[in-house]
Amino acid sequence: MLSAHDIGFYEKHGYLVLPGQFSAQETGLLLRETHRLSQLEIPQRILERDGEQVRSVYAVHRHSNAFDRFTRDLRNLEPARALLGSDVYIHQTQLNPKAPFQGDVWEWHQDYLYWQRDDGMVEPRALNVSVFLDEVTEFNGPIFIMPGSHRLALDDETRTAQDGWENTLTADIRHKITPDALRRLADSLGLVSIKGKPGTTVVFDGRLLHCSPPNLSGNLRSVIFIRYNSVDNPLRQIANPRPEWLASRDPKPLTALADPFATTIADVRSPV
Amino acid sequence: MLSAHDIGFYEKHGYLVLPGQFSAQETGLLLRETHRLSQLEIPQRILERDGEQVRSVYAVHRHSNAFDRFTRDLRNLEPARALLGSDVYIHQTQLNPKAPFQGDVWEWHQDYLYWQRDDGMVEPRALNVSVFLDEVTEFNGPIFIMPGSHRLALDDETRTAQDGWENTLTADIRHKITPDALRRLADSLGLVSIKGKPGTTVVFDGRLLHCSPPNLSGNLRSVIFIRYNSVDNPLRQIANPRPEWLASRDPKPLTALADPFATTIADVRSPV
């Protein structure tokens, strides 16, 4: 599925953009699920600072048959396997339905710092497969990255809040890279903005520095992030781990589904 | 100076972009003044929510000979006169040195709502001449606008905080357009992003809806805003007006300077 050029690009820059991976019917179905999940009053739903708009829903593959099947769609699974060089399992899923005018910034961060420090991940053999469910524009919260930053360990440039893991979920992030380090990295690596039509996939390394500005448009901007980890890289035991819905400890290899959406469409049409 | 096409564009869309108005030497000089002004501990300097970074400095034409002369540069003054159809005076100046990684969002707003309600401006015969002192990119806080919104009175769609005018200066803005109205306007008018090289001028109507995302880059993004009002539109007396440095009550016509920068460069070189 991925070409040698794709793999080379990913290894060099830490990310890969694959437009047109999912049809309008498919993203439309997942958007209806996004709407349903956003209304569930569950601990996995995190609100913005305003206490009203939904910032994220975690573990959507456990709350939605459609998203569960989506994580086993070959179009998501195969790039993860190819780039990690092994079978994979789901470390975490996160749905970010960035609200019109109120969806807030995500500051620059490396996901792997959280997985390593808060979850006990041993090696950076994990990545994001993110899929745009809405069109992502310069106005509604595109994804900014620093290409090549996936090769950097930033332990010495990171300041960690002293309170609990709950802060990993809010706009006031827990593991902050110092402004001096960010400035130096931005100067040397440059910045890239990723935008695209619904159905665009962005695969990126767990260590790639990324951020996202607020949604200043009048439209919802939903992106689903599937964090796959290599089955050869299970979490070690740590004190006070984050809950299972943020960091799965079951490294069972995922198997692909032949036709993930056919059944899902029928499921969603039936009353819940 | 402005062409008939420029004037027609402005009247229709409410804004006008004029690249290459100022040289690198000129913007460089104003950036050195920006640095100096940002260090002054004066009431006109407003900090970001973090209490550290400088969000704005107001009345810079009263604290800086260079900016004072700049407001009388024909390249700023003449577009204002031509578009307002009269002589003009300075209602307000505002310098926004949006800090790397920490310069915060400006939500969607109409300047005129503030000038009308907080300052007693009678008619919307005022405009912004804003000049980019740094390059403005998609990463460091471009200016988003809704073209055509300058023809709209939004009194019924505005919710005003009940506390004092100080809130007009912070990220938590005082006169908020309702999300429903913003969504409707964004749908019908569309959004435009204004970016450009240092020395680019953006002229825009006092009623044009605009906003700006945070600066997520490693570089300062300084923009100077000169708010010119028609001398035929002086402020009326109101209870509890904002201070003179936010809303001048001296509608004396500005006269152009022959060579605004020649003297300024010498001034800045001399010890202050």
Nearest Cα of chain A lies from the Cα of B227 at a distance, in angstroms, of 24
pLDDT at B264 (0 to 100):
57
Chain B residues within an 8 Å CB radius of A217:
186, 191
Q: Which residue has the tokens 């605009």?
A: B210
- Do the domain assignments include residue A244? no
The residues near A259 (Cβ < 8 Å, ≥ 6 apart) are none
Nearest Cα of chain A lies from the Cα of B71 at a distance, in angstroms, of 31
User: What's the mean pLDDT in A46-65?
Assistant: 95
Confidence of residue A168 (pLDDT cuts 50, 70, 90): low
Beta strand residue intervals within chain A, DSSP E: 15-18, 45-47, 54-58, 88-98, 106-109, 126-132, 143-145, 158-160, 175-177, 192-194, 201-205, 210-212, 221-230
Chain A residues within an 8 Å CB radius of B195:
none
For residue A252, pLDDT over 60 is answered with yes
- Do the domain assignments include residue A148? yes
User: How many beta-carbon pairs under 8 angstroms link A with B?
Assistant: 68
Could you report the per-residue pLDDT of A61-90, keeping only the tens digit for each? 999 999 999 999 999 999 999 999 999 999
Establish if A171 touches chain B: CB-CB under 8 angstroms: no
In sequence order, what are the beta bridge partners of A15?
A204
Contact flag B211-A211 (C-beta cutoff 8 Å):
no
- Do the domain assignments include residue A255? no
Establish if B171 touches chain A: CB-CB under 8 angstroms: no
The residues near B253 (Cβ < 8 Å, ≥ 6 apart) are B87, B88, B89, B231
pLDDT at B118 (0 to 100):
92
Of the given ranges (A71-80, A149-158, A167-176), which has the lowest mean pLDDT? A167-176
Chain A residues within an 8 Å CB radius of B193:
138-139
Of the given ranges (A108-117, A133-142, B155-164, B217-226), which has the lowest mean pLDDT? B155-164
Q: For every one of its 272 residues, what pLDDT tens digit does chain B have, with 9 covering 90 and above?
A: 899 999 999 999 999 999 999 999 999 999 999 999 999 999 999 999 889 999 999 999 999 999 999 999 999 999 999 999 999 999 999 999 999 999 999 999 999 999 999 999 999 999 999 999 999 999 999 999 999 999 998 888 888 887 677 666 766 788 889 999 999 999 999 999 999 999 999 999 999 999 999 999 999 999 999 999 999 999 999 998 999 999 999 999 999 998 999 865 555 544 33
- Do the domain assignments include residue A271? no
Contact flag B144-A101 (C-beta cutoff 8 Å):
no
- Do the domain assignments include residue A239? no
Chain B residues within an 8 Å CB radius of A179:
100-102
Q: Identify which of B87, B40, B43 has the alpha carbon closest to the alpha carbon of residue B64.
A: B40
Chain B residues within an 8 Å CB radius of A186:
217-219
Tokens representing residue B266 in the block: 């010498």
Establish if A49 touches chain B: CB-CB under 8 angstroms: no
Write down the ipTM of this complex: 0.92
Grouping H, G, I as helix, E, B as strand and the rest as coil, residue B158 is strand
CB B155 within 8 A of CB B117: no
Establish if A107 touches chain B: CB-CB under 8 angstroms: yes
Confidence of residue A266 (pLDDT cuts 50, 70, 90): low
CB A41 within 8 A of CB A10: no
- Do the domain assignments include residue A259? no
Contact flag B182-A218 (C-beta cutoff 8 Å):
yes
User: What's the mean pLDDT in A180-204?
Assistant: 97
CA distance B5 to B12: 11
Establish if A157 touches chain B: CB-CB under 8 angstroms: no
Chain A residues within an 8 Å CB radius of B185:
218
Quote the number of domains for chain A: 1
CA distance A78 to A3: 12
Contact flag B217-A186 (C-beta cutoff 8 Å):
yes
pLDDT at B19 (0 to 100):
98
Chain A residues within an 8 Å CB radius of B107:
101, 216
- Do the domain assignments include residue B236? no
Contact flag A139-B193 (C-beta cutoff 8 Å):
yes
Please, what is the Cα angle at A113 between A213 and A139, to 5 degrees?
Answer: 10
CA distance B265 to B253: 25
Contact flag B101-A179 (C-beta cutoff 8 Å):
yes
- Do the domain assignments include residue B166? yes
Tokens representing residue B68 in the block: 């004072």
CATH assignment at residue A61: 2.60.120.620
CA distance B46 to B43: 7
Contact flag A183-B216 (C-beta cutoff 8 Å):
no
pLDDT at B265 (0 to 100):
57
Chain A window 189-248: which residues touch B at a Cβ cutoff of 8 Å? 191, 193, 211, 213-214, 216-219
Structural domain boundaries enclosing A183: 4-230
For residue A264, pLDDT over 80 is answered with no
CB B224 within 8 A of CB B130: yes
CB A105 within 8 A of CB A213: yes
CA distance B181 to B177: 7
Chain B residues within an 8 Å CB radius of A213:
213-214, 216
pLDDT at A14 (0 to 100):
98
Q: Which residue of A has its CA nearest to B210?
A: A216
Contact flag A101-B191 (C-beta cutoff 8 Å):
no
- HSE of B259 in the Cβ direction (CA atoms, 13 Å)? 4
In sequence order, what are the beta bridge partners of B45?
B57
Contact flag A138-B138 (C-beta cutoff 8 Å):
yes
